[in-house]
A and B are shown apart, each in its own frame.
Chain A
Amino acid sequence: MLSRTAANLYWTGRYIERADFTARLLDATLRLSSLPADYGGDPQAWSAALAAAGVAQAFADAYGEVSDDAAVHFMSLDPANPSSMRNCLERARSNARAVRTGLTVEAWETLNDSWLQVERFGVGTPSPSRASELIETVRRAVLAFDGAAQRTMLRGDAFWFLRLGAAIERADNTARLLDVKYHVLLPRTEPVGGSLDYFQWATILRTVSALTAYRWVYKDAVKPWLVADLLIFNTEMPRSLAACYEEISGLLDSLAQDSGRRGRAHRLASATLLALGDTDIDTVFASGLHEFITGFLGDNNELGAAVAEQFLF
């Protein structure tokens, strides 16, 4: 496949994944910030959300002070934010349009259709009800696109590059969420339940749409160390770092099988996957959750660069 096509598909995958993450982050943060302070309402909720989306600096440059409205606008429709939901979908769509032949008609049509729907929301600050409509639209758009791709695309390079972009982006998103919230996930001795931090934990789980999943997996009340365990090590949980790396390794193997070539990206991915398998949540807490996450983010970025280099993007 053409290197340019591969790059465009990879980025289509990344942007769609980022749009989805931003939508869930926005949704969870809207809930958290609307709670009264006595029930866990968090005045820092929007700063944390901007940091988790990786746009805190861009926001500060554009607005300075953090306000609810400005943060919602920045993350949803603001054309000035390269990672706003609107921009993510627009970029996903324009990457896809440049490689129409790499996608099936069905996959392209759902993406184009979604973009047309999001475009109708305009670029101004959405009212709360418009914001939740928009979030719903973006979430449906991503589900529809994934479904169309899954059901109609040939299992070949095009499909694998699309999913590789999505998996690397997903790992990055989960890790950044952990990076911003790690302090509420540290183990502690005080009894759980009744803690105001419950709302923080629930917000994290909602952001990775795993609140229900958590209960299925642990059959237990929400405990911070288990939240960290779920997001890092649980391979059943599709947004966990371990699950992302299983998928990344598998995709790189498929690509290698086709071309008969392996390279640096394979080595980096296997190393990260092995490291995740060799350790557990207690070890991570002992050596520092924050350091672990920072290290992971660096490795994941390096993998992105290695993919670009190896496939001549």
Chain B
Amino acid sequence: MYSHASSDLFRTPGAFDEMSGFGNEARTPYREVRRWLEETPQDLLQTRGAQAEHLFRRTGITFSVYGQAEGAERLIPFDIVPRVLTRSEWTRLERGLVQRVQALNAFLADVYGPREILRAGVVPEDLVLLNPQYQLAVVGHAPTKGVFTHIAGIDLVRTGGDDFYVLEDNARTPSGVSYMLENREMMMRLFPELLGRARVAPVETYPDLLLQTLRSVAPEGREEDPGIVVLTPGHYNSAFFEHSFLADKMGVELVEGVDLFVRDDIVYMRTTEGPRRVDVIYRRVDDAFIDPLAFRPDSTLGVPGLMSAYLAGNVALCNAVGTGVADDKAIYSYMPEIVRFYTGEEPILKNVPTWRCREPDALREVLGRLDQLVVKEVDGSGGYGMLVGPHASRGQIEAFRHKLLATPEKFIAQPTLALSTCPTLCDGRIEPRHVDLRPFVLTGADGVRVVPGGLTRVALTPGSLVVNSSQGGGTKDTWVSDD
């Protein structure tokens, strides 16, 4: 339990700025960007911003917002001022990411296998075994080549020059990588000279690396020319653009549940030339919907019999079934111990201090200072169902107090971090806005890979800390620039 968070983590008046740090001078990686911002007239920046929006709409890079009219397509706002990291900052982050994802995979293999970490008492047994994301259907079953979370998105925030924290791990079906790639394409199209001067590491190898990762986990005997597909819930899904984008870039079929069927524990897709065998499925459908025979019987998105093919070892699912137990926010609070337990090393990336409301002492402390804390549901995502204390009304705080008292085990609380800010074009003016960073980590049978960059999300409302696209956040291109 972390009840003694260091004071510099709390919301401070002067947040760290990606361009100027705590002062007014441009940090080294931002020299080119600063010069560019000073040299370019504001109306030209504005024009370029509008041009970017036009191009994105034309490309059809849209997403749907749940709760709006079905099929309504919106653009995620794109900001033209890049977020820049130096090569040396990145190298440290990368080592931390690799270490963390290796620990996540080891943890998953363990809790569905020998359960050593539970027997050692490092993580409480009930937190894992009674977790709604713990899939009993795959207990004792190792996925092909032993990899559970092939594609992980690790959300990082920064509070100072060297202070990066992991805000959450996404080990199920993290999205956003298409924006990482398309944002870079957009910047190259709009500002080729700037990119030329800044010497930015390329991210365009991601689809190749993803394909390589998927190939590497093909079932035994199918390694030669595995049938690989991307499984989407369909074009009403909020991330459909990304699903089709990735399938296209990898040159594999984009399928829906109805395109697949299972016979004798082998998965096939229906093609114009008859059935064709499928060996690896990059699925963007949640566990609960993947097979109506094994999970939710009302699911029309899944494939009947898929789980039995999976358990027979005839198909690889990426990510594997049951990874949700590792990105639960209550498990998150144990990540430093989990990293130490499996790697024998000190965690390179820090965790945000977290109160687990299931513990009575922690709950008491959280209830006493709800107006200062961020309270999240342990299995929530997308910025839904959370309380940002300093920005909440009295009524919202009281409503959360009741929820906390009723089911404390469903919540964790964290201090409100002073997220770093990044210069952002807002209504024709450059203003600081809070940002986070989601790099994507690929794990195959042949190792862990990270492309230099990630998705920077930006909270466009002044002072807001919520960067989720479903809550009106925007994105920026993320540069790893030579020092």
What residues make up the interface of A, taking CB atoms closer than 8 Å to B? Answer: 1-6, 94, 97-101, 105, 108-109, 112-113, 116, 157, 161, 255, 258-259, 261, 311-312
Contact = CB atoms under 8 A, between A and B. Distances in A.
Main secondary structure of the interface of A (DSSP, over half): helix
Contact of A112 (B58, B248, B272): B58
Interface in B244-289: 244-245, 247-248, 253-256, 258-259, 269-273
A123 B270 CA distance: 38
A259 B60 contact: no
A114 B358 CA distance: 55
Contact of B254 (A6, A100, A108, A112): A100
A2 B271 contact: yes
30 contacts: A2-B253, A2-B255, A2-B259, A2-B269, A2-B270, A2-B271, A2-B272, A3-B259, A3-B270, A4-B256, A4-B270, A5-B253, A97-B240, A97-B244, A98-B234, A98-B235, A100-B244, A100-B247, A100-B254, A101-B244, A101-B247, A101-B254, A109-B58, A112-B58, A112-B60, A113-B58, A161-B272, A255-B272, A311-B272, A312-B270
Nearest to A108: B60
B271 A3 contact: yes
A296 B253 CA distance: 37
Contact of A97 (B57, B60, B258): B60
A261 to B, nearest CB: 7
B68 interface: no
Contacts of A99: 244, 254
Categorize the interface residue count of chain B: 20 to 34
Contacts of B234: 98
Contacts of A108: 60
Contacts of B247: 100-101
Nearest to B251: A101
A4 B258 contact: yes
A113 B59 CA distance: 8
Nearest to A255: B272
Contacts of B60: 97, 100, 108-109, 112
A258 B60 CA distance: 31
Interface in B27-81: 57-60
Contact of A261 (B244, B258, B273): B273
Given A2-B259, A112-B60, A100 B272 contact: no
B283 to A, nearest CB: 16
B272 A157 contact: yes
Nearest to B269: A2
Contacts, number: 65
A180 B58 CA distance: 39
Contacts of A97: 60, 235, 240, 244
A259 B274 CA distance: 9
B259 A101 contact: no
B72 to A, nearest CB: 13
Nearest to B73: A97
Given A2-B253, A99-B254, A259 B270 contact: no
Contact of B272 (A1, A94, A109): A1
Interface in B184-210: none
A97 B259 CA distance: 17
Contacts of B255: 2
Nearest to B60: A112
Contacts of B269: 2
A259 B272 contact: yes
A108 B59 CA distance: 8
Contacts of A157: 272
Interface string B218-237: 00000000000000001100
A116 B57 contact: yes
Contacts of B253: 1-2, 5, 101
A1 B253 CA distance: 8
A291 B322 CA distance: 65
Contacts of A105: 59, 248
A5 B59 CA distance: 20
Contacts of B244: 97, 99-101
A312 B272 contact: yes
A116 to B, nearest CB: 7
A255 B57 CA distance: 34
B248 A100 contact: yes
Nearest to A5: B253
B247 to A, nearest CB: 5
Contact of A6 (B57, B245, B258, B272): B272
A4 to B, nearest CB: 5
A1 B59 CA distance: 24
A5 B247 CA distance: 13
Contacts of A161: 272
